[in-house]
Amino acid sequence: MVPPYAASSPRPGFWAVLDPAQRAALRRAARPRQYPVKTPLVYQGDESDHVIIMERGWAKVTSATEDGHDVVLAVRGPGDLIAESAVLGGRTRSATVTALSPVRGLVVSAARFTGFLDEHPDVWMLVTSTFVQRLDDSDRRLTAQMSSRGPQRLAALLTDLAELSALHAPPAPDGSIEIGPPLSQEELGSWMDASRETVARALNGLRGRGLIRTGWRKIVIMDLPGLREFAKEPD
């Protein structure tokens, strides 16, 4: 069984693959901004008049349901581009993005960003591939909800988060990897469509196997290959 959350391997963010000249052009077009913890970067339903490039920090992407609950859809981290699909599609924002840690971003108006893309047409392909990858991630999330138990879903999600975190911070000398986004048990449960109690039980089981170590809003992966294998176990 393929881990339902597994992507082909996390890819570097938008900013990381730009060349120095492209980064300089975007800095000239942007205004820097700081976002404290719990501050929304963009709101679901707002008009799309700018994009944000995250330079530092982590944020969660959520969507409000009809009954008023916020569902976690994804996380964004250093180098990621935010709100580009709404700007390029000329529609209102489909989700809210909220800082999980202090975030520093570059805010670029829609007009300046599209002008930048016109001047650097090779970047269009990068933006398009990012959008397609996010759709694939959404499809994997739906598959996970139907094809695996809570512990396997959580293990697969933590595997992806560990690989993503390793892009921005090297593993510790003992090989352990601290998950970058400081997600609560409730947020993890929302993301994997499970209750907080299910997440707590699954975390306890993974701790018992020596696969993870946990603290308040902190998860350290102690054995990534073992966690990856556990995520593949059949129901």
At 94-140, the pLDDT tens digits run 899 999 999 999 999 999 999 999 999 989 888 887 777 776 666 66
At 22-39, the pLDDT tens digits run 999 999 999 999 999 999
Amino acid 92: pLDDT: 82
Cα(164)–Cα(153) distance, rounded to whole angstroms?
A: 17
Per-residue pLDDT of the chain (235 residues; tens, 9 = 90+): 333 343 445 667 899 999 999 999 999 999 999 999 999 999 998 888 899 999 999 999 999 888 878 899 999 999 999 988 767 777 788 899 999 999 999 999 999 999 999 999 989 888 887 777 776 666 666 665 555 678 999 999 999 999 999 999 999 999 999 999 999 999 999 998 899 999 999 999 999 999 999 998 899 999 999 999 999 887 5
**Does domain 148-232 correspond to CATH entry 3.40.50.360?**
no
**Does domain 15-140 correspond to CATH entry 3.40.50.1390?**
no
Count other Cβ atoms within 10 Å, centred on residue 170. Answer: 9
Amino acid 143: pLDDT: 64
Spatial CB neighbours of 151, under 8 Å, sequence gap ≥ 6:
201, 202, 205, 206, 230
Cα(83)–Cα(222) distance, rounded to whole angstroms?
A: 34
What 3-state DSSP class applies to 74? strand
CB of 79 within 8 A of CB of 130? no
CA angle 181, 144, 136 (to 5 degrees): 75
Question: Where, residue-wise, is CATH 2.60.120.10 in the chain?
Answer: 15-140
Cα(199)–Cα(207) distance, rounded to whole angstroms?
A: 12
Strand partners, 74: 61
Question: Where, residue-wise, is CATH 1.10.10.10 in the chain?
Answer: 148-232
